[in-house]
C-alpha cells in the first residue's frame, strides 16, 4: 500500500528547475500516513518512463506522476503511461471545453496543440486543474495499482492535490491513521552535540524523533501516528518537553517559527523597537526581519553602511577607532549599533561587520570573521566576535551572520538581567 513519486522532465535532471514537487508530495503523503519509500526523476523519453513504471508498479500501489502534461511534443507522460499498459488514448470532450473556456477568459483562442491535453487513457477519470490548461488523471489500470498525474507547475499541482487527490485517496481507505509532526528548532548547537544529548529518544517507535541540520540551525522532528491530532499531540508533548529542557536556550521555536519571527514576538511583548546597521550582510538582516508580517510594529529600519565613509557620516563611528581597529572589530560593531539606535530612535540597535570573502581576508582577520554589535535600551554596548569558517561560501557566511545576530538578540531579550 506504498506510494511512489515519479517526476518527469529533462529540465529536472539538468538542474534547471528545483524539484520542489517531490518534497511537497513527500510531506503530504506523510501527513496522510501513506508509506512512501521511493522517488524517481526521469527525462522526457518514453522508453525511460516505461522503465520507471516497470520498476515502480512492481513495488508500489500508488504512482504519483508530476510533469510532462503540457501541449508540446516533449510532454509525453500521459502517452507513456497509456502505451505501457497497452491502453488507447481517447479524447475527453469536457477537457476541450474547459481549455476553450479558460482561453476565452483571457481573450485568446485555444491552439490546436492543446487538444493533446484532452487525450487520456481509456477509462481514466479526469483530475481537474482549476488553475491551468493541463488536467491530470486518476486511473487504475489493473487491480491494486492506482496512478495519479499532475502538471509540473507547483501551484497547479498543490491545488489539484488538495481539491481532488486527497479526497479520492481517503475514499480508498488512506488517511485513516495519519502521521502528525512537530518540529523543534535550535540555534547555537551542533547537530551531533544535540543528537548525543537526546540519543535515548531516537529509539522511540511512536512517536519517532529525527534530526535535521542546515545553515547553522538544527531541527528535531517528532512524528506520531494516531487516529486524531489530539491523540498525536498527547504522544508528542512529553517528548517535546524533555527535548526543550535538555536543549535550554538553544531551543528557539517550533514548526513555522523563525529566528526573526521569535525576535519580533519578544519585542512586541516588551513594547520595544529595533534598528539595524549592516556592512557585510548588505541588508540581509533587514530582509529576514521584514519577512514576518507585521514587523513594522517593532522594526523601524536599517542602514547599509558598506563603505567606511557611511559608517562615519551616518552612524557616527569614530574615524580614529576605524583607522586603528579596522572596520571588522568589536569597537566599530558597538559604535555602529549605538549609531543606528540613536539615528532611528529605537530601543535596540544591532550591527554586523565582517569579512564575507572570498577575498579580503588576512592572517589576523580571516574570511568568516564577523563582529555583531548590540546596543541595549540601558545604553550598554556589546561587540561579540564570531568565526564562521574561512572555507564557507560568501552567501552562507552572510546568511549565518544575519542568523547569528538574530539569535544573539533573542538571547538578550530572553535574559532576566534586563530588569524586567
Range of the domain at 218: 179-254
Output the CA angle 162-24-210, nearest 5 degrees: 125
Task: Give the model's pLDDT for residue 348.
Answer: 98
Please tell me whether residues 29 and 47 are part of one structural domain: yes
Give the percent of the chain with pLDDT over 70.
Answer: 99
Residues 133 and 197 in one domain: no
Q: Are residues 325 and 398 in the same domain?
A: yes
pLDDT band at residue 275 under the 50/70/90 scheme:
very high
Domain count within the chain: 3
What pLDDT does 419 receive?
44
The answer to whether residues 107 and 230 belong to one domain is: no
Last residue of a domain, one of 171, 199, 228: 171
Cβ neighbours of 93 (radius 10 Å)? 9
* Nearest-angstrom CA–CA distance, 167 and 190: 41
Q: What pLDDT sits at residue 179?
A: 86
Give the end of a domain, one of 232, 254, 276: 254
pLDDT digits (tens, 9 = 90+) for 366-396: 999 999 999 999 999 999 999 998 888 999 9
pLDDT at position 112, please?
A: 85
Task: Assign 418 a pLDDT band (cuts: 50, 70, 90).
Answer: very low
- Of the ranges 130-139, 172-181, 269-278, 314-323, which one carries the lowest mean pLDDT score? 172-181
Same domain, yes or no, for 134 and 219?
A: no
Closest of 217, 297, 273 to residue 413, by C-alpha: 273
Query: What order do you get walking across the sheet with 251-254 strand by strand?
Result: 208-214, 217-225, 179-187, 251-254
Q: What's the pLDDT score for residue 417?
A: 45
CATH number at residue 407: 3.90.950.20
Whether residue 265 is found in the same domain as residue 243: no
What is the reported pTM?
A: 0.80
pLDDT digits (tens, 9 = 90+) for 76-99: 999 999 999 999 999 999 999 999
Which stretches within 147-283 are classed as H helix?
A: 154-160, 166-171, 191-197, 229-247, 259-270
- pLDDT score, position 173: 87
State whether 21 and 49 are in the same domain.
Answer: yes
Mapping DSSP to helix (H, G, I), strand (E, B) and coil, where does residue 71 land? coil
Residues 191 and 153 reside in one and the same domain: no
Final residue before a domain boundary, out of 109, 140, 171: 171
- Residue 317 has a pLDDT of 98
User: Does one domain contain both 192 and 154?
Assistant: no
The CATH code of the domain that includes 228 is: 3.30.70.2860
- 146 plus 217 within the same structural domain: no
Cell numbers found for residue 285: 538582516
- Indicate which CATH number applies to the domain containing 158: 3.40.980.10
CA distance 336 to 279: 9
Mark whether 156 and 297 lie in a shared domain: no
pLDDT in tens, 329-378: 999 999 999 999 999 999 999 999 999 999 999 999 999 999 999 999 99
Specify whether the CB–CB gap between 277 and 350 falls below 8 A: yes
Q: What share of the chain is helix, strand, coil (3-state, %, to 5)?
A: 45, 25, 35
Dist CA 51 CA 48 (whole Å): 5
On whether both 154 and 190 belong to a single domain, the answer is no
Phi-psi region of 134 (alpha: psi -120 to 50; beta: other; left: phi over 0): beta
pLDDT bin (cut points 50, 70, 90) of residue 31 is confident
Amino acid at each position: 500500500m506504498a506510494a511512489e513519486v515519479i517526476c518527469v522532465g529533462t529540465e529536472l535532471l539538468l538542474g534547471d528547475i528545483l524539484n520542489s514537487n517531490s518534497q511537497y508530495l513527500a510531506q503530504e503523503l506523510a501527513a496522510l500516513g501513506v508509506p512512501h519509500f521511493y522517488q524517481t526523476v526521469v527525462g522526457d523519453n518514453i522508453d525511460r518512463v516505461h522503465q520507471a513504471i516497470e520498476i515502480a508498479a512492481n513495488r508500489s500501489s500508488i504512482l504519483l506522476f508530476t510533469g510532462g502534461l503540457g501541449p508540446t511534443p516533449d510532454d509525453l507522460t500521459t502517452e507513456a503511461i497509456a502505451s505501457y499498459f497497452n491502453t488507447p488514448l481517447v479524447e475527453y470532450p469536457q477537457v476541450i471545453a474547459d481549455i476553450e473556456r479558460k482561453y476565452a477568459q483571457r481573450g485568446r483562442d485555444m491552439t490546436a496543440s492543446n487538444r493533446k491535453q484532452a487525450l487520456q487513457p481509456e477509462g481514466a477519470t479526469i483530475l481537474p486543474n482549476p488553475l491551468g490548461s493541463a488536467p491530470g488523471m486518476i486511473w487504475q489500470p489493473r487491480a491494486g495499482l492506482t496512478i495519479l498525474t499532475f502538471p509540473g507547475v507547483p501551484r497547479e499541482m498543490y491545488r489539484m492535490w488538495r481539491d481532488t487527490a486527497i479526497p479520492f485517496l481517503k475514499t480508498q481507505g488512506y488517511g485513516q491513521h495519519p502521521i502528525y509532526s512537530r518540529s523543534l528548532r535550535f540555534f547555537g548547537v551542533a547537530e551531533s552535540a544535540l543528537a548525543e544529548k537526546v540519543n535515548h529518544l531516537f529509539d522511540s517507535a511512536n512517536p519517532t524523533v529525527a534530526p535535521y541540520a542546515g545553515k547553522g540551525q538544527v531541527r528535531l522532528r517528532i512524528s506520531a501516528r494516531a487516529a486524531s491530532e489530539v491523540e498525536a499531540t498527547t504522544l508528542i508533548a512529553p517528548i517535546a518537553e524533555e527535548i526543550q529542557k535538555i536543549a535550554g536556550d538553544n531551543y528557539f521555536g517550533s514548526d513555522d517559527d523563525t529566528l526573526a519571527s521569535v525576535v519580533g514576538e519578544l519585542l512586541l511583548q516588551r513594547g520595544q523597537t529595533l534598528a539595524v546597521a549592516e556592512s557585510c550582510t548588505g541588508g540581509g538582516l533587514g530582509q529576514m526581519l521584514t519577512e514576518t508580517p507585521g514587523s513594522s510594529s517593532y522594526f523601524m529600519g536599517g542602514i547599509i553602511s558598506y563603505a567606511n565613509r557611511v559608517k562615519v557620516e551616518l552612524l557616527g563611528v569614530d574615524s580614529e577607532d576605524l583607522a586603528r581597529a579596522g572596520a571588522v572589530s568589536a569597537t566599530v560593531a558597538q559604535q555602529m549599533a549605538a549609531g543606528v539606535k540613536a539615528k532611528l530612535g529605537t530601543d535596540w540597535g544591532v550591527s554586523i561587520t565582517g569579512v564575507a570573502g572570498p577575498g579580503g581576508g588576512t592572517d589576523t582577520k580571516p574570511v568568516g570573521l564577523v563582529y555583531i554589535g548590540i546596543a541595549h535600551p540601558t545604553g550598554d554596548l556589546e561587540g561579540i566576535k564570531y568565526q564562521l569558517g574561512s572555507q564557507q561560501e560568501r552567501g552562507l557566511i552572510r546568511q549565518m551572520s544575519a542568523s547569528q545576530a538574530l539569535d544573539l538578540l533573542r538571547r538578550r531579550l530572553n535574559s532576566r538581567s534586563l530588569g524586567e
